[in-house]
């Protein structure tokens, strides 16, 4: 089917208390693994491209690959911009065919984050496309201490003001998770998630979710998380498959027999996350 937006997808997840998996795609094998997993799990799915992925694969190529795969799929697929850092990037992705946008102004002062988010929301809504924004800051592993993670967390009262002033459709919250963690060891501040949900009412987004425990997914979703972002776990599965294939057959020279194993491993990783997020069978 044609690409859908994340608007209805996340509203349904919010009403039925599960989370839609949002998986970062960097090349053809990611797109195939994620959509095949969604088909097999009968799950709605969000494929997202970061600015780095767009630079790597090319904007037109990202849209063409995801559109082609979605058209052959029987489950709803959305294409989302992950961590767009400026207005222009959002416009470019909207024009290219993305069905969901993100502005990440988490490094900016509150008022500046509000002003740019609001401008992007007005522009995107005119085209019927929803926008995610970030308040507080989800840090990156290796660069932060526990105290810093705490200090960067989303303030619930500020979140209320932010959502009211910007009209944003969903909110990425800093609640204890950290980007690029390679083990599941982050602890979520579940009470904070609940408070933000009560005050804002919008679907909440969990970034840095590769490092969150399975129990964290469960309690986070119960508290108000409706979209869960996974990138690192897919990278790990993909490269593990490639390494194992090369170790098994060091003389193999057909890349499909090497990269294809990575794709299979990645698909299994996506399916496992979908089951934990409760979105399996929700398409």
**Active-site annotation, residues:** 82
- The minimum distance between CB 102 and Zn ion, in angstroms, equals 9
Q: Which stretch binds ligand G3H (CB under 6 A): 13-21, 123-131, 176-184, 262-270?
A: 176-184
- The minimum distance between CB 222 and ligand G3H, in angstroms, equals 20
Nearest CB to Zn ion, comparing residues 221 and 261:
221
Q: Which of 21, 136, 211, 220 binds ligand G3H (CB under 6 A)?
A: 211
Residues 54-113 that bind ligand G3H (CB under 6 A): 82-83
From residue 247, alpha-carbon distances to 136, 243, 251 in Å are: 43, 6, 9
Nearest CB to ligand G3H, comparing residues 99 and 258:
99
Question: In terms of Cα–Cα distance, which of 124, 137, 126 is closest to 81?
Answer: 124
Q: Which of 33, 210, 262, 269 binds ligand G3H (CB under 6 A)?
A: 210
267 is an interface residue for Zn ion by CB under 5 A: no
Please give the Cα distance from 146 to 11 (Å, whole number): 33
Nearest CB to Zn ion, comparing residues 197 and 207:
207
200 is an interface residue for ligand G3H by CB under 6 A: no
| Footprint on this chain of ligand G3H (rule: CB under 6 A) | 24, 82-83, 179-181, 207-211, 229-233
């Amino acid at each position: 089917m044609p690409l859908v937006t994340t608007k209805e997808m996340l509203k349904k997840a919010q009403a039925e208390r599960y989370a839609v998996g949002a998986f970062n795609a960097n090349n053809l094998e990611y797109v195939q693994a994620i959509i095949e997993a969604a088909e097999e799990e009968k799950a709605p799915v969000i494929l997202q491209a970061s600015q780095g992925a767009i630079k790597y694969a090319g904007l037109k190529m990202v849209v063409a690959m995801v559109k082609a795969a979605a058209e052959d799929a029987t489950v709803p697929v959305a294409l989302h911009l992950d961590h767009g850092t400026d207005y222009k990037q959002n416009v470019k992705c909207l024009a290219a065919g993305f069905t969901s946008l993100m502005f990440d102004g988490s490094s900016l002062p509150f008022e500046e984050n509000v002003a740019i988010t609001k401008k992007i929301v007005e522009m995107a809504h005119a085209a019927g496309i929803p926008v995610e924004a970030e308040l507080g800051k989800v840090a990156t592993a290796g660069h932060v201490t526990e105290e810093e993670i705490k200090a960067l967390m989303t303030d619930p009262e500020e979140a209320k003001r932010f959502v009211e002033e910007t009209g944003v459709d969903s909110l990425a919250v800093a609640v204890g998770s950290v980007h690029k963690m390679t083990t599941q060891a982050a602890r979520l501040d579940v009470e904070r998630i609940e408070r933000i949900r009560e005050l804002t009412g919008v679907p909440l987004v969990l970034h840095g979710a590769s490092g969150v425990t399975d129990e964290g997914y469960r309690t986070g979703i119960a508290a108000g998380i409706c979209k869960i972002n996974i990138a690192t776990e897919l990278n790990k599965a993909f490269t593990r498959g490639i390494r194992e294939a090369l170790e098994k057959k060091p003389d193999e020279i057909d890349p499909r027999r090497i990269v294809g194993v990575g794709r299979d491993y990645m698909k299994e990783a996506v399916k496992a996350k979908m089951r934990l997020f409760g979105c399996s069978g929700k398409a």
